């Protein structure tokens, strides 16, 4: 998934209050980030006593960069956090070789990546620090598909799907060919959608229009009354605002507290957990070898990141995580520090809750 998949998200209140689009975040990131990957031993990560090396996701990189810049400015200007946004998969390849201390990720670690880490004696702990969102959309003149169940999405998109017309999904829908559009298999968005809807990464029908560009998906849907597509919600909202003939479909929630209910991809339902499973968590992983060797650097950065995560994600165009994730992340970090015997080494305190 590219940085431009989602554009305008909520702002936040605080000393650093600002809201930017992902395109602005990408431009600022490209102009101002420090990009480096250093050699290192497997257990110690990529940095030295004043440097943190952060590999990983292009999508999550602006959040980590936001955390890094504020950490450097507020905590210690002699510290350098080097953020290298080479992609989640490429980042895990570095991280699992011990070449980085922090790994930003737009998805959970895959089994083969975990096996690579295990083979190199790399232990890690992960934290969920924000949310990104996918939307299902149809043409604005589509007056039959306002809501869709998860089973129906699976029926449409599964590898063995025999859906060709809208009426193949529901009898009352028109006997018209369904034109399908989505991301290609080079995308983390593709990985997430196929797993969330079809139960397995890359399990998807092969006769749909696949592209690396989310704009192309929404352009195609807005040009065809019988089209259906999925992709980043921000680009969809941007095009709707510019007059495109698009409308989001309410998707059935898999949240057990909202069984049988349908929700649109809107802020209030995303941040409170109703718009699930298509609101995906965003992560950062910490090399516990780095944490053990340099707790006042790596541990303080992790603590600072978690303390301020509800600000950092919206500041660069993502949805904030549910507030309870902050406490859960702190609990995971505290347990890790206790296990490593370094709980008293950090100089930054847990702020919430």
> Would you place residue 317 in the very low, low, confident or very high pLDDT band (cuts 50, 70, 90)?
confident
Token pair in block for residue 315:
């500041």
Cis-peptide, bond into residue 6, ω within 30° of zero:
no
pLDDT above 70 (res 247): yes
Are residues 120 and 205 located together in one domain of the fold? no
pLDDT above 60 (res 18): no
More confident residue, 66 or 59: 66
> Would you place residue 44 in the very low, low, confident or very high pLDDT band (cuts 50, 70, 90)?
low
Give the span between the Cα atoms of 104 and 83, in whole angstroms.
9
Average pLDDT over residues 26-47: 45
Are residues 83 and 143 located together in one domain of the fold? no
At 4 the pLDDT is 27
Token pair in block for residue 140:
């604005």
What is the per-residue pLDDT across 116-175, written as a single tens digit (0 to 9) for each?
999 999 999 999 999 889 999 999 999 999 999 999 999 999 999 999 999 999 999 999
Task: State the Cα angle at 205 between 108 and 318, rounded to 5°.
Answer: 35
The domain in which residue 323 lies consists of 22-131+280-340
Residues 6+ apart with CB under 8 A from 272: 322
Element (H, E) at 114: helix 111-119
Q: Reading across the β-sheet that carries 147-148, which strands appear in turn? A: 147-148, 250-252, 262-263
Report the length, in residues, of the chain: 353
109 DSSP assignment: P
What is the per-residue pLDDT across 169-205, written as a single tens digit (0 to 9) for each?
999 999 999 999 999 887 778 888 999 999 999 999 9
CATH number for the domain harbouring residue 231: 3.40.190.10
More confident residue, 72 or 76: 72
- Asked whether the beta carbons of 130 and 320 are under 8 A apart, the reply is yes
Are residues 220 and 261 located together in one domain of the fold? yes
Residue 35 lies in a domain: yes
pTM higher than 0.95, yes or no?
no
């Amino acid at each position: 998934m590219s940085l431009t998949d989602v554009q305008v998200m909520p702002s936040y209140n605080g000393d650093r209050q600002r809201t930017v689009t992902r395109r602005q975040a990408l431009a600022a990131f490209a102009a101002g980030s420090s990009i480096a990957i250093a050699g290192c031993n497997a257990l110690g990560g990529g940095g030295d006593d004043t440097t943190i090396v952060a590999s990983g996701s292009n999508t999550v990189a602006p959040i980590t960069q936001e955390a890094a810049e504020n950490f450097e400015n507020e905590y210690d200007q002699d510290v350098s956090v080097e953020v290298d946004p080479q992609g989640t998969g490429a980042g895990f390849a570095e991280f699992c070789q011990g070449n980085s201390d922090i790994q930003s990720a737009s998805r959970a670690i895959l089994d083969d990546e975990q096996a690579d880490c295990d083979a190199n004696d790399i232990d890690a702990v992960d934290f969920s620090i924000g949310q990104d969102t996918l939307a299902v959309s149809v043409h604005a003149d589509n007056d039959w598909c306002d809501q869709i169940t998860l089973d129906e999405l699976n029926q449409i998109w599964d590898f063995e799907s025999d859906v060709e017309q809208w009426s193949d999904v529901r009898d009352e829908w028109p006997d018209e060919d369904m034109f399908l559009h989505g991301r290609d298999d080079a995308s983390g968005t593709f990985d997430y959608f196929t797993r969330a809807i079809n139960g397995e990464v890359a399990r998807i029908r092969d006769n749909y229009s696949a592209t690396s560009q989310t704009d192309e998906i929404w352009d195609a849907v807005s040009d065809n009354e019988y089209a259906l597509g999925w992709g980043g919600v921000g680009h969809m909202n941007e095009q709707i605002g510019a007059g495109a003939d698009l409308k989001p479909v309410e998707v059935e929630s898999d949240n057990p507290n909202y069984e049988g209910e349908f929700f649109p991809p809107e802020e209030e339902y995303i941040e409170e957990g109703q718009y699930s499973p298509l609101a995906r968590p965003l992560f950062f992983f910490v090399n516990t070898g780095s944490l053990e060797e340099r707790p006042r650097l790596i541990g303080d950065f992790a603590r600072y990141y978690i303390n301020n995560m509800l600000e950092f994600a919206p500041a660069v165009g993502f949805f904030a995580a549910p507030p309870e994730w902050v406490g859960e992340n702190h609990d995971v970090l505290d347990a890790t520090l206790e296990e490593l015997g370094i709980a008293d080494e950090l100089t930054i305190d847990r702020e919430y809750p």
